[in-house]
């Protein structure tokens, strides 16, 4: 975040003095007495709203008042932003933003950038110019910081903690928001099933029923079915790729939550490179990319598990036997393992593979060691209770053959 602040407030050179006289020289139509009054109000109240018809120079004057307040014309210490109906706290203060890697990262908004820049240079003044403030919702945009706009609230004793974590990863809770939620009966403690079963809805809470039903499914680690029940959800598309991706995300998310605290490193959706010695000019256009679903690394024990999830039956009928593993899947996991050997990664040299399939009532868990790599073929029964599904997934991380 510090790099972003540096870009937003770059040092401008040279810095020239600026005063009320310069505002008048620039062509301001107000009298000097009026400008002095505006500056006094800005120094005292820390905030100033200029009102008038469009095109009358409000933004022009606001920036020059900022320069006069600072005593110098320094564009690096003045930040302008325009409010509009869609602007939110996440845009202006701090919020989560998607990255090019398909993840979320915490990003500071204009206001936090100005605050961090001012904290680095406490001897200077910084000004944020807000255009079209009447078009936005200040309570929504400023959030808990709305209180701190008052000059009398800008003291350490009145400080509030942000709802989002800092860049160093520490999470702070907003005192005012936490106390308000607690007053409404919402706390950070997970509710018991007995408490959830006593939830009552009023006539104005109908829109919340679906959200609460979905939250209860997640709380119970339950899967929706097509059997008759008290809640109705829209039937998802029965497209095989979408369902397989859902199964992949569920497995990766489970291991990420459960194994990370135990010292495992969990990676989802990575790619592997081929060890190419020579190639023709057009091979890059047709050579497939090796993309793993989930990779589990446990450095203390020197273990790596490469997981590839499938949403098909683990076995199929063969030419010479009633049931056989799907050869394409076996070749795939074999390539994932052997292609990474000898690249200077000790975990890759002895990595094991796991082909994981969902099942309904059936259980398969077989392992074979090929050229020093254990390859496991297993299923997880999605009709089992949540605790049993958890146990099945954890057992798959335990070595079978030594």
Question: 195-209, pLDDT tens digit by residue?
Answer: 666 666 666 666 677
Give CB contacts under 8 A, 24+ apart, made by 152-160. 154/46
The pLDDT of residue 313: 84
> Would you list the domain boundaries of the chain?
2-179, 240-395
Which among 44, 75, 281, 255 is positioned nearest to 151, based on CA atoms? Answer: 44
The values of phi and psi at residue 94, to 5°, are -165, 140
Whether 306 and 331 have beta carbons less than 8 Å apart is answered as no
How large is the average pLDDT for residues 50-58?
87
Q: What pLDDT, on a 0 to 100 scale, did the predictor assign at position 11? A: 47
pLDDT of residue 336: 95
Min mean pLDDT across 142-146, 216-220, 304-308, 363-367 is at: 216-220
User: What is the pLDDT at residue 6?
Assistant: 43
CA distance 229 to 101: 39
Task: Give the integer Cα–Cα distance in Å for 262 and 168.
Answer: 21
Q: How many CB atoms lie within 10 A of CB 238?
A: 7
Q: What is the pLDDT of residue 323?
A: 83
CA-nearest of 120, 111, 73 to 92 is 111
Asked if the model's pLDDT at residue 12 lies above 50, the reply is no
- Cβ neighbors of 146 (< 8 A, separation 6 or more) are 138, 139
CA-nearest of 374, 365, 379, 362 to 309 is 379
Q: Are 175 and 162 in contact (CB under 8 A)?
A: no
In a 3-state reduction of DSSP, which class is residue 334? helix
Output the pLDDT for position 115: 82
Mean pLDDT to the nearest integer, 332-356? 94
For 136-172, how does the pLDDT look when each residue is reduced to its tens digit (9 = 90+)?
888 888 887 787 777 777 776 777 767 665 655 454 4
Token pair, residue 186, equals 């919402």
User: Residues 282-310: pLDDT tens digits?
Assistant: 998 999 889 999 999 999 999 999 999 99
* Confidence at 353, pLDDT banded by 50, 70, 90: very high
Query: For the residues 10-24, what does the mean pLDDT come to?
Result: 75
DSSP 176: H
Mean pLDDT score, 104-120? 82
Percent pLDDT > 90 in the chain is 28
Q: Which tokens belong to 145?
A: 């910081």
pTM greater than 0.75 (yes/no): no
| Cβ atoms within 10 Å, residue 129 | 17
- Contact criterion met (CB below 8 Å) for 72 and 18: yes
Fold of 240-395: Trna Endonuclease; Chain: A, domain 1 (3.40.1350)
Q: What are the tokens at 38?
A: 């505006």
Q: Which residue has the higher pLDDT, 211 or 368?
A: 368
Query: Given this model, what pLDDT does residue 354 score?
Result: 95
């Amino acid at each position: 975040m510090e790099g972003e602040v540096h870009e937003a407030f770059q040092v401008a050179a040279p810095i020239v003095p600026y005063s009320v006289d310069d505002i008048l020289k620039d062509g301001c139509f107000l009298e000097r007495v009026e400008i002095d009054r505006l500056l006094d109000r800005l120094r005292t109240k820390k905030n100033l709203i200029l009102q008038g018809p469009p095109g009358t120079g409000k933004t022009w004057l606001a920036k020059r008042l900022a320069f006069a307040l600072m005593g110098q014309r320094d564009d690096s210490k003045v930040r302008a932003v325009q409010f509009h109906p869609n602007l939110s706290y996440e845009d202006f203060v701090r919020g989560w933003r998607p990255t090019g890697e398909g993840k979320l990262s915490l990003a500071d908004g204009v206001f936090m950038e100005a605050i961090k820049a001012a904290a680095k240079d406490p001897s200077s003044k910084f000004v944020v110019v807000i255009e079209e403030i009447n078009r936005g919702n200040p309570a929504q945009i400023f959030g808990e910081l709305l209180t701190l706009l008052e000059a009398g609230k800008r003291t350490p004793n009145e400080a509030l903690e942000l709802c989002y974590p800092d860049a160093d990863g520490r999470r702070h809770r907003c005192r005012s928001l936490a106390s308000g939620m607690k007053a409404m009966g919402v706390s950070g403690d997970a509710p018991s099933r007995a408490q959830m079963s006593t939830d009552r809805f009023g006539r104005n809470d109908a829109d919340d029923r679906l959200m609460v039903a979905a939250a209860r499914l997640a709380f119970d680690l339950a899967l929706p079915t097509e059997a008759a029940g008290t809640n109705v959800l829209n039937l998802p598309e029965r497209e095989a790729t979408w369902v397989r991706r859902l199964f992949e995300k569920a497995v990766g998310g489970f291991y990420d939550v459960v194994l990370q605290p135990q010292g495992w490193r969990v990676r989802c959706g990575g790619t592997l490179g081929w060890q190419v010695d020579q190639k023709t000019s057009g091979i890059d256009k047709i050579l497939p990319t090796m993309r793993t679903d989930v990779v589990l690394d446990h450095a203390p024990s020197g273990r790596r598990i490469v997981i590839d999830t499938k949403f098909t039956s683990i076995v199929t009928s063969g030419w010479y036997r009633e049931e056989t593993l799907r050869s394409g899947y076996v070749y795939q996991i074999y390539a994932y393992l052997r292609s990474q050997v000898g690249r200077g990664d000790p975990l890759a040299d002895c990595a094991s593979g796991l082909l994981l399939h969902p099942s309904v009532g059936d259980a398969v868990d077989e392992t074979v060691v090929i050229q020093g790599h254990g390859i496991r073929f297993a299923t997880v029964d999605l009709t089992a209770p949540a605790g049993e599904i958890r146990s099945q997934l954890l057992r798959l991380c335990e070595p079978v053959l030594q």
